[in-house]
Amino acid sequence: MLHFLRRALIIFSVLALFILPSAGALTAADNGQGKDPPDLERIVFVHPKVKDVKPSPAKPPKEPVLYSYSRYHWSNLPVTYYYNPSSSPVSNAQDGVIASFEAWEAAGSGVDFTFGGTTDVLPGLDVSVPDYKNVVGWAPLNDPGSVAITIIWSNTRTKLVVDTDTIFNLDSGYAWVQGTISVGADPDLAQLTNTSAYDVDVQNIMTHEAGHWLVLNDLYTDAASEQTMYGYASDSELKKRSLETGDIAGVNKIYP
C-alpha cells in the first residue's frame, strides 16, 4: 500500500509540472486579451446659447494660445461617423454635418473622418455604456439653454476615445436651418436671417461640436470669442463654420 501511494505521488507531481505552467499561460493570455471591460469615463460637452453675462477677461500672455486640449485623443483614424435624420427639422442637415467634419480635415493636420452614411441608431444621451458607434442626431434636451451636447467615452487608462455622439436640441425655442452664405462673403461676418426664435445653423454648431470630437475644450475668454471653440452660440451666427488660428493650432497639436 505504501509503495502504491509513493508511485501515485510521483505520477501526480510529474503531471503537475506539465499542467500548471499551461494553466498559468492560459491565465496570462486571458488577461492580455482584455476581456474585462475597460475603465471608461463619460465626458459631456454642453454648448449653451449666449447668456447675459460677459466672459471672463483674458490674461495677456506673450503668445496667446487660443485652444485647450483635454489630453484624450483618437488612435485609430479615420473616425467613422453616422447621421440619424430622425426627427430632424432641417431637410439638408446632413450636408451641414458632413461639411463640419471636412472643415477640421482641411486644417492641415492628421485628422481623418469618414461618413458612414445614415443610421437608425440613436445618439447615446442617457446610456451607461457606449455602443461604439459615433452618431450625430436629434432629441429634445432637458436644458432649453443647451443648443447641443456632445458625449465622449474614453478609456481612463489609455486616454483613448472609444465612442462619441452629438445631439442637437429639438426644443421649440430653436429655429434650426442649414443656412447659405453668398459666394465671396466672409463667413465671419455673415448672419442668418433673424426670426423671433433663436436661429441656429446646423453647420455652425456642428463644426464646434466636431472640435469636441477631437477633444478640444470650450474657451470662454474675450480673446477667444472669434474661435470656433468659443463656448457660447450666438443667435443667427455663422462664423463658427470657419476655423481660426487657435482652432487650427490645437488640432495640429493633437494630430500632427
Instruction: Give per-residue pLDDT as tens, 56-76.
Output: 444 444 456 799 998 899 998
Query: How far apart are alpha carbons 12 and 140 in whole angstroms?
Result: 67
Same domain for 74 and 4: no
Phi (first) and psi of residue 32, to 5 degrees: -65, -30
Average pLDDT over residues 147-162: 95
What's the pLDDT band for 51 if we cut at 50, 70, 90? low
Same domain for 83 and 7: no
**For position 146, which CATH number holds?**
3.40.390.10
Same domain for 76 and 132: yes
Same domain for 128 and 111: yes
Average pLDDT across the chain, whole number: 82
The three-point CA angle 243-149-56 to 5° equals 65
For residue 19, what pLDDT is reported? 30
Same domain for 17 and 76: no
Three-state secondary structure call for residue 16: helix
Q: What is the CA radius of gyration of the chain?
A: 25
Same domain for 124 and 10: no
**With 60 as the cut, is the pLDDT of residue 13 above it?**
no
Query: pTM to 2 decimals?
Result: 0.79
Instruction: Give per-residue pLDDT as tens, 183-195.
Output: 888 878 889 988 8
Query: How far apart are alpha carbons 172 and 219 in whole angstroms?
Result: 27
Same domain for 62 and 15: no
For residue 30, what pLDDT is reported? 32
Same domain for 157 and 217: yes
What's the pLDDT band for 38 if we cut at 50, 70, 90? low
Q: Grid coordinates standing for 217?
A: 475644450
For residue 164, what pLDDT is reported? 98
CA distances from 191 to 101, 180, 196 (A): 21, 9, 15
Same domain for 209 and 144: yes
Same domain for 129 and 74: yes
Three-state secondary structure call for residue 186: coil
pLDDT greater at residue 128 or residue 231? 231
Average pLDDT over residues 150-174: 96
For residue 210, what pLDDT is reported? 98
Q: Which domain holds residue 3?
A: 1-35
For residue 41, what pLDDT is reported? 84
**With 60 as the cut, is the pLDDT of residue 17 above it?**
no
C-alpha dihedral sign at 25, 26, 27, 29: positive
Residue with cell 468659443: 230
Same domain for 106 and 12: no
What's the pLDDT band for 55 if we cut at 50, 70, 90? very low
Same domain for 98 and 58: yes
The pLDDT > 90 percentage for the chain reads 63
- The tally of domains found in the chain comes to 2
For residue 238, what pLDDT is reported? 95
Give 64-124 as a DSSP string. -----B-S-B--SSSEEEEE--TT-S-TTHHHHHHHHHHHHHTTSSS--EEEEEE-SPPP-
